[in-house]
Amino acid sequence: MTPLPDSNPVEHHDIVVIGGGQAGLSMSWHLTARGIDHVVLERDTIAHEWRDTRWDNFTLVTPNWQCVLPGYRYNGPDPDGFMKRDEVYAWLRDYADTFDPPVREGVTVTAVTVAKDGGFDVETTSGPLHSDQIVVAVGGYHAPAIPRFAERLPDSIRQLHSAEYRSAADLPDGAVLVVGTGQSGAQIAEDLHLEGRKVHLAVGSAPRVARSYRGRDCVAWLQDMGHYDIPIEDQPGGLGKRENTNHYVTGRDGGRDIDLRQFAVEGMALYGRLVDVADGAARFESSLEKELDAADAVAESIKDSIDAYIARTGIDAPVEPRYQPVWRPDREITEIDLATTDITAVVWSVGFRTDYRWLRVGVFDGEGHPCHNRGVTTTPGLYFLGLPWLHTWGSGRFAAIARDAEHLADQITVTARATAAA
């Protein structure tokens, strides 16, 4: 007996791109230009992370001239400036308008599995799809990380992750404890400080970089020196570089250093790493001076590299004095009483965890990170794009997404055309 044809065949695409941020859009631009069938699935709206998970006064920390996507670049009036949150969001929305990508907004991917007959089965909130190839472009920051001991904070203290922070005005009156000094933690501490709030800052191991040195933004020097183009396997520490925290600096008000020591001079309370909360007290490691010195040492080592580059190339650049610490702790404070310090809110800025539970393909290491070589996994047809250190330092920022997308698009195109010809 001849089986009846399926009256509801599963929708098929050559490529399914998961994520409608800058990485997913970059891939879609290449696939559109090459005439390759694809669809982009976005659980919210295009580029929504820029609008929804940054604070009101957020700015980029890299100059606008470094904002380059396939077929598109920043062409506004301030190339050496730093776009604010809403400007970045609008810039990306305008990018999508230049080529009308096939994005389906409000569609959440709930499961991806390898199909029995080849390709991938994709379950979504709007129904199933089948795809020959998959590009995962959802970034590497999924679930906010908050330590378990946060449960022991008094109920009277409001807790929020850096991804939820919007402004000082949204927090209850009183002092604020900011935990972590990566890019977000340091800038949120600055934001609160500039709004006149008393800030207590638990300092971690993040390095820092000067905003400018010898007449130019340090990003410009590093760009010319090729630092954003060095493959991760050629970096000291190799793949372990993916675990590094980015240097803290700010693009606010035209760009400047973030000097935690200067904040201390101005009244911010600094401590070492927060290690526990118990009995109404916060407890810190005796590590503040060590962490401040280490952050300064990284900033000065970058200046050393710039000096060497200037000398090697014979560039005529002004000379400027090196940084001198403006403050050192008299003693290490390892415990504070949360009530007597009037702390009414805690902002956790200790990173994110990956969450790929929906991607049911064996391409992950023991910590849940995807294993790949420049975005290519050992599962044929499965790729990652937009991850920090996917290939170079520039991979997790606008500086190199276009290059990474083109590299993967070349491989995807070869496979797609071979499949079509079979």
- Tell me the β-bridge partners of 337: 281
pLDDT for position 9? 85
* CATH superfamily to which 11-142+354-421 belongs: FAD/NAD(P)-binding domain (3.50.50.60)
pLDDT for position 420? 82
- What is the Cα Rg of the chain in Å? 24
Using alpha carbons, select from 288, 142, 123, 116 the residue that is nearest to residue 201.
288
Query: For the chain, which residues make up each domain, given as ranges?
Result: 11-142+354-421, 145-351
CA 153 to chain centre: 28
Task: Return d(Cα 56, Cα 252) in angstroms, integer.
Answer: 12
Tokens read off for 93 = 């929305």
Tokens read off for 220 = 């410009």
Tokens read off for 187 = 């800038």
Query: Which secondary structure element, helix H or strand E, spans residue 269, and what is its range?
Result: strand 269-271
Q: Please check whether the two domains, 11-142+354-421 and 145-351, share a CATH topology.
A: yes
pLDDT for position 3? 46
pLDDT range class, residue 1, cuts 50, 70, 90: very low
Q: For the chain, give percent helix, strand, coil, nearest 5.
A: 30, 25, 45
All residues at 6 or more sequence positions from 386 whose CB lies less than 8 Å from its CB, including other chains: 19, 21, 22, 23, 24, 26, 137, 138, 139, 140, 395, 396, 401, 404
All residues at 6 or more sequence positions from 203 whose CB lies less than 8 Å from its CB, including other chains: 181, 260, 270, 271, 272, 273, 287, 288, 291, 292
Whether 241 shows a pLDDT value over 70: the answer reads: no
Task: Return d(Cα 251, Cα 219) in angstroms, integer.
Answer: 12
Taking CA atoms, 285 is separated from 91, 216, 275, 343, 409, in Å, by: 42, 37, 7, 19, 47
Q: What is the pLDDT of residues 123-156, one digit of tens each?
A: 999 999 999 999 999 998 899 999 999 999 999 9
Whether 238 shows a pLDDT value over 80: the answer reads: no
Phi and psi torsions of 324, nearest 5°: -120, 125
Note the pTM of the prediction, 2 decimals. 0.94
All residues at 6 or more sequence positions from 312 whose CB lies less than 8 Å from its CB, including other chains: none
Identify the residue whose tokens are 């990018």.
95
Tokens read off for 25 = 């859009």
- Tell me the β-bridge partners of 133: 15
Q: What is the pLDDT of residues 10-31, one digit of tens each?
A: 999 999 999 999 999 999 999 9
Whether 2 shows a pLDDT value over 50: the answer reads: no
Proportion of the chain above pLDDT 70, given as a percent: 97
Q: What is the pLDDT of residues 176-189, one digit of tens each?
A: 999 999 999 999 99
Whether 378 shows a pLDDT value over 80: the answer reads: yes
Topology of the domain comprising 145-351: FAD/NAD(P)-binding domain (3.50.50)
Q: What is the pLDDT of residues 42-65, one digit of tens each?
A: 999 999 999 999 999 999 999 999
